[in-house]
Amino acid sequence: MSAISPGDDVLGLDRLSINQCSLPSGAREDRPDAMLAQRRTPFIAVIGPGAIGTVVAAALHEQGRTPFIAGRSSRPELRLEYEHETVVVPGPIHTDPGEFQGTADLVFLAVKATQTAAAASWLATLCGQGTVVCVLQNGVEQREAVEPLVLGGSVVPAVVWFPAARQPGGSVTLLSLPRLSLPDVPGSEVIVNAMRGSRCVVDVSLEFTTLAWRKLLQNAAAGLMALTGRRSGMYRREDIGRLALGYLQECAAVARAEGANLDDDEAVRVLEQFRAAPTDRGTSILSDRERRQPLEWDVRNAVIQRRGSAHGIPTPISDILVPLLAAASDGPG
């Protein structure tokens, strides 16, 4: 339940056309084998090197697949800390989509859902026919949100299963081994191949809908932290426990209507995970509230209300929590 905070700064390559690839030593550009070498070298990009984007960029860099990284502000490098190890992903950094032409083979979109619209210019620059966009965002509506911004490419949602925390100096601390889950759809194999051999494990699941909603239950209940300004220890209170359990049961009912295969005790298990976590463990929506940043209340909480209404399922707790989270995020006042 650590702060998972996709998307802030940037990193990348020297100014060049994105389709430009280095040739093997001695190869001539007009030789068929040289062109084949170019085609076999995938161009990978990460949009939004916050906590999650930094982990993915570092995993690629360690395997010699250093990605092009785009974002909002310039930094000389990315630093990932894990146990007693430091991975440095070198710059330079790119912030202007207008400087580039061409397309990437694979794009990891790691900005928060509240920043997707701001990343539209980078998606327009980096994506074309055949580009695969792996969406590393919370929620179950990644395709609906991102597909209109990706002309010609394909969008593959992912469930992020690892906590990572952004430190005040800009480095990122990885708190457990990284793992991603993908649906069994065209494009997933491109992502699996890109991450093959790296520290980030990628699995393709026929039960992706279940996994995505299971993660959403965690994200939804974590919204209580943003409202109270407290960390995981608060779930050990009996009153908060009752509220959280009722909310999780409400969320689980909607998830099952959406096709998720959740056990009857899913809500209890999620609550116990919160209670078993270190009492000072936070979450990204709490961090955003503390920094007075927009909250992901829509994709983490309002989605329960929307989908419940579509299925005729009452969501009385959502009907109270969602307006409070929306006001905490967007005001006015």
Catalytic site residue 112? no
Bridging pattern class, strands 159-160 and 179-183:
antiparallel
Cis bond before residue 24 (omega within 30° of 0):
no
- Which whole-number Å values give the CA distances from 310 to 257, 294, 323, in the listed order? 10, 26, 19
Strand pairing partners for 81? 86, 173
Catalytic annotation, pick one of 75, 199, 214, 215:
215
Instruction: Return the axis-axis angle of helices 303-311 and 238-257, rounded to nearest 10°.
Output: 50
Helices marked H in 258-315: 266-276, 284-290, 297, 303-311
pLDDT of residue 168: 87
The pLDDT tens digits along the chain (333 residues) read 333 333 322 222 222 223 333 222 333 333 333 333 444 589 999 999 999 999 999 999 999 999 999 988 888 899 999 998 999 998 777 899 988 888 999 999 999 999 999 999 999 999 999 999 999 999 999 999 999 999 889 999 999 999 898 888 889 999 899 999 999 999 999 999 999 999 999 999 999 999 999 999 999 999 999 999 999 999 999 999 999 999 999 999 999 999 999 999 999 999 999 999 999 999 999 999 999 999 999 999 999 999 999 999 999 999 999 999 999 999 998
List phi, psi (to 5°) of 115: -110, 5
